[in-house]
């Protein structure tokens, strides 16, 4: 499964405190995100990444020592449910 | 409409029509020092009509209607026609106004710096605004704060103040020379009396102010104060806004800019004097 972020122009980010407010232009919905959701959105591209490739990137960029694939899957599922991330089948 | 009154409050022009003379006469008296809509063209029309033709005369019952209506809005007896007009004006704003981000809040200003107070009904935002106005602050409104999405300024909307229950007597003691509307007893919100803002508030109703402090007051508790995190302020203010969703990106930008630019504080207070002392200190 490939997870894709919307184009950068689709979202407005406003860091608040522990939360980041994100306005999704196409739906008009305001989301309040906590880490690692903003970092996931920043790391995913429009072309998309598999979960394992995303985990690798996050591990490199944020020095994650104990990155948990299952926890990342749960966060990705939440972002998909919120409409901020889309998923498509990986090409064979 | 048989009877009609036009008025402008801040940037908003209203045309109020009614089947009866009494509520229009009361409005005309209370709003006698206000301007008329720009170019004679109101933004909103409010209609106070009989719920049935015969209810103009038999147990007169006022339906709250206008450009925007809520089907579930309960009619009021004619004796509360003034309240019906005020509620209908609020309804037009809440459902129809798009030029500003609306926050259900009171606003007062001192030295060009505006204090925005928001909270649930009974938190005391109207009473605190009236108390501060009695101390020389400029009253900018106690129903809606109008936040300009382009400039971030707050525009006055100094409607007559609707005071409830014990606040009526308390304010009458503080401002014995104030102009008041009739006592509306037994309304769905309790006993209500409308207070006309000071002449200075009415004459300056086109003068915007810069927001300086967001306050979340709560009446009936021991004095306490805490800083409100930006994320909590955002959630509370989106809930306090009637048109945040309708404004879309403009609303998001206006609200997050407001929250980033001013401190947000929640206070509990047991009485007006305690609240005023807290506010004076916070606004220094």
Return d(Cα B101, Cα A53) in angstroms, integer. 42
- Mean pLDDT, rounded, for B116-141: 91
Domains of chain A as residue ranges with CATH: 2-88 (3.90.930.60)
The answer as to whether B185 is a domain residue is no
Residue B92 shares a structural domain with residue B218? no
The residue that leads in pLDDT, B61 or B242, is B242
Nearest CA in chain A to B230: A16
Residue B213 placed within a domain: yes
Residue B174 domain flag? no
Which percentage of chain B shows pLDDT scores above 70? Answer: 100
pLDDT in tens, A17-36: 999 999 999 999 999 999 99
Hunting for tokens 């945040």 — which residue is that? B244
Strands B44-50 and B12-18, sheet pairing:
parallel
Question: Are the C-beta atoms of B105 and B125 separated by less than 8 Å?
Answer: yes
pLDDT band at residue B170 under the 50/70/90 scheme: confident
pLDDT tens string B17-43: 999 999 999 999 999 999 999 899 999
Is A67 a residue whose pLDDT tops 80? no
The domain containing residue B14 runs over which residues?
3-96
Task: For chain A, say whether B111 makes contact (Cβ under 8 Å).
Answer: no
- Residue B249 contacts A, CB cutoff 8 Å: yes
With a CB cutoff of 8 Å and minimum separation 6, the contacts of B241 are B101, B102, B103, B104, B251, B255
Contact of A9 with chain B, judged by CB distance below 8 Å, is answered with no
Contact criterion met (CB < 8 Å) for B229 and A25:
no
Which residues fall within 8 angstroms of residue B284, CB to CB, at 6 or more apart?
Answer: none
Which residue in B124, B153, B133, B111 sits closest to B10, CA to CA?
Answer: B153
Question: What is the rounded average pLDDT for all residues in chain B?
Answer: 93
Regarding whether B123 and B88 lie in a shared domain, the answer is no
Cβ density class B37-64: b for 16+ within 10 Å, e for less: beeeebbbbbbbbbbeeebbeeebbbbb
Give the pLDDT score at B78.
87
Contact assignment for B260 to A12 by CB distance below 8 Å: no
Contact status, residue B238 vs residue B269, Cβ threshold 8 Å: no
B228 touches chain A (CB under 8 A): no
Q: Verify that B131 and B150 share a domain, yes or no.
A: yes
The reply to whether B238 touches chain A by the CB within 8 Å rule is: yes
- Contact with chain A for residue B18, Cβ under 8 A: no
Interior CA angle at B128 toward B125 and B132, to 5°? 135
Nearest CA in chain B to A20: B231
On the question of pLDDT at A66 being above 90, the answer is no
Does the beta carbon of A19 lie under 8 angstroms from any beta carbon of chain B? yes
What number is the average pLDDT over the span A49-77? 89
The percent of residues in chain A predicted with pLDDT above 90, rounded, is 77
SS3 state of residue B106: strand
In chain B, what percentage of residues exceed pLDDT 90? 76
End position of a domain, from candidates B96, B117, B132? B96
Q: B231 and A23 in contact by Cβ < 8 A?
A: no
Task: State whether B121 and B151 are in the same domain.
Answer: yes
Q: Does A25 touch chain B (CB under 8 A)?
A: yes
What proportion of chain A, given as a percentage, has pLDDT over 70?
Answer: 99
In a domain, B173, yes or no: no
Domain limit, last residue, from B96, B119, B140 = B96
- What's residue B135's pLDDT? 92
One domain for residues B62 and B21: yes
Q: Which helix (H) or strand (E) holds A37?
A: helix A37-43
Tally of domains within chain B: 2
Whether the per-residue pLDDT at B55 is higher than 90: the answer is no
Measured between CB atoms, does A92 come within 8 Å of chain B? no
**Between chain A and chain B, how many beta carbons pairs sit less than 8 Å apart?**
36
C-alpha–C-alpha distance, residues B276 and B15, integer Å: 36
Residue A68 banded pLDDT, cuts 50, 70, 90: confident
Closest in A14, A17, A30 to B238, CB measured: A30
pLDDT of residue A92: 65
Is B162 within 8 Å of B192 (Cβ atoms)?
yes
Work out the minimum CA distance from B36 to partner chain A, whole angstroms. 36
Interval B183-200: pLDDT, tens: 999 888 889 999 999 999
pLDDT at B50: 82
Residue B219 belongs to domain with CATH number? 3.90.228.20
> What's the confidence (pLDDT) of residue B232?
97
Say whether B25 sits in a helix, a strand or coil. helix
The closest of B242, B198, B237, B254 to B116, measured between CA atoms, is B237
Chain B residue numbers with beta carbons less than 8 Å from the beta carbon of A28 are 245, 248-249
Show which of B43, B71, B96 is a domain's final residue: B96
What's the pLDDT at A52?
Answer: 94
Nearest to A19 among B231, B249, B252 (CB): B231
The verdict on B64 and B110 lying in the same domain is no
Among A52, A40, A35, A36, CA closest to A11: A40
Is B180 in a helix, a strand, or coil?
A: strand
Residue B52: pLDDT above 80? Answer: no
The DSSP H or E segment spanning B163 is strand B161-164
**CB-based contact A50:A58 (threshold 8 Å):** no
């Amino acid at each position: 499964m490939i997870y894709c972020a919307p184009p950068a122009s689709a979202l407005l980010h406003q860091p608040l405190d522990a939360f980041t407010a994100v306005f999704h232009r196409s739906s008009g919905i305001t989301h309040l995100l906590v880490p690692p959701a903003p970092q996931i959105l920043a790391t995913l591209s429009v072309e998309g990444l598999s979960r394992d490739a995303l985990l690798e990137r996050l591990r490199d960029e944020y020095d994650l020592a104990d990155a948990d694939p299952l926890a990342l899957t749960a966060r990705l599922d939440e972002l998909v449910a919120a409409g901020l991330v889309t998923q498509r089948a990986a090409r064979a | 409409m048989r009877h009609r009154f036009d008025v402008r409050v801040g940037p908003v022009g209203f045309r109020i029509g009614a089947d009866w003379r009494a509520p229009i006469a009361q409005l005309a008296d209370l709003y006698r020092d206000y301007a008329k809509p720009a170019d004679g063209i109101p933004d909103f029309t409010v209609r106070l009509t009989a719920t049935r033709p015969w209810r103009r005369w038999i147990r007169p019952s006022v339906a709250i209607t206008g450009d925007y209506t809520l089907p579930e809005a309960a009619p009021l007896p004619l004796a509360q026609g003034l309240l019906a007009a005020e509620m209908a004006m609020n309804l037009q704003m809440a459902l129809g106004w798009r030029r500003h981000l609306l926050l259900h809040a009171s606003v007062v200003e001192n030295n060009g710096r505006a204090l925005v107070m928001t909270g649930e009904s009974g938190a005391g935002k109207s009473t605190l605004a009236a108390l501060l106005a009695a101390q020389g602050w400029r009253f900018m409104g106690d129903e809606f704060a109008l936040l300009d999405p382009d400039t971030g300024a707050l525009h006055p909307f100094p409607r007559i103040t609707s005071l409830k229950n014990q606040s009526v007597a308390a304010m009458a003691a503080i401002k014995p020379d104030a102009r008041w509307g009739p006592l509306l007893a037994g309304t769905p919100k309790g006993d209500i009396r409308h207070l006309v803002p000071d002449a200075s508030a009415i004459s300056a109703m086109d003068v915007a102010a810069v927001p300086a402090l967001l306050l979340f007051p709560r009446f009936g508790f021991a004095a306490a104060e805490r800083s409100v995190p930006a994320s909590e302020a955002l959630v509370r203010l989106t809930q306090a806004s009637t048109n945040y969703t309708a404004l879309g990106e403009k609303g998001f930008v206006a609200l997050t800019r407001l929250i980033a630019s001013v401190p947000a504080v929640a206070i509990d207070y047991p009485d007006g004097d305690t609240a005023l002392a807290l506010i004076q200190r916070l606004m220094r």
